Amino acid sequence: MNRAVFLDRDGVINRAIMREGRPYPPASLEEFELLPGVGEAIAALRAAGYRVIVVTNQPDVAAGLRTREAVEAIHRHLRGTLAIDDLRVCYHVDADECACRKPKAGLLLEAARQWSLDLRQSVMVGDRWRDIAAGQAAGCRTILIAAAYRERQAESPDAVVNSLAEAAQLILSSWHGHELTRSGAWTA
């Protein structure tokens, strides 16, 4: 496997907690709710030869709003429930100016090095502009899961769908076996 599907966590794998039109992560495992079709979508991607790697910003830890242990309890649950290959987390806030916080591509680039991934054959699936920008910066195809968030909108994702199940269907039926050319077009 030299290609991956990178998944954001909140709003892609699990239901985001909405407050005043903005998405927030669940505060604990008790608030965590897996979205419909996620397990099946991930299993289908793995069966088709994709690594499935979760890449998530969790700035509430640095901001003191969430404990690292609460976040890691959710991640232990994800690892035990879903057929994911890896899970990478940025615990920083924007002011830290780290390389790993999306919209920067650090989490994806680090995973690509470790797993020997071809990012041109990989896809980033997310529900926010930061996810799409990180995928674009890494050279991946991007799929936005449509959400009516009151925040900056993603610019020029390769596709827009309503769920991870739809994203997996698109990857497996339309994009599987295609790669990015230098001109930026996807070809067979």
pLDDT at 185 over 60: no
Select from 80, 64, 52, 66 the least CA-distant residue to 17. 66
Residue written as token pair 């069966």: 47
pLDDT in tens, 64-74: 888 899 999 99
- Reading the block at residue 92, the tokens are 């920083």
In angstroms, the CA 168 to CA 172 distance is 6
Q: Would you kindly state where each structural domain of the chain is located, as residue ranges?
A: 4-187
Q: Is there a catalytic annotation at residue 85?
A: no
Q: Which residues contact 149 (CB under 8 A, 6 or more apart)?
A: 21, 22, 23, 127, 128
Kindly name the residue from 10, 127, 131, 158 that is annotated as catalytic.
10
pTM of this prediction exceeds 0.85: yes
CB count in 10 Å sphere of residue 19 = 8
Q: Which CATH class is domain 4-187?
A: alpha beta
Question: Can 131 be counted among the known catalytic residues?
Answer: no
pLDDT per residue as tens digits for the range 97-143: 999 999 999 999 999 999 999 999 999 999 999 999 999 999 999 99
Closest listed residue to residue 127, CA positions, set 17, 33, 11? 11
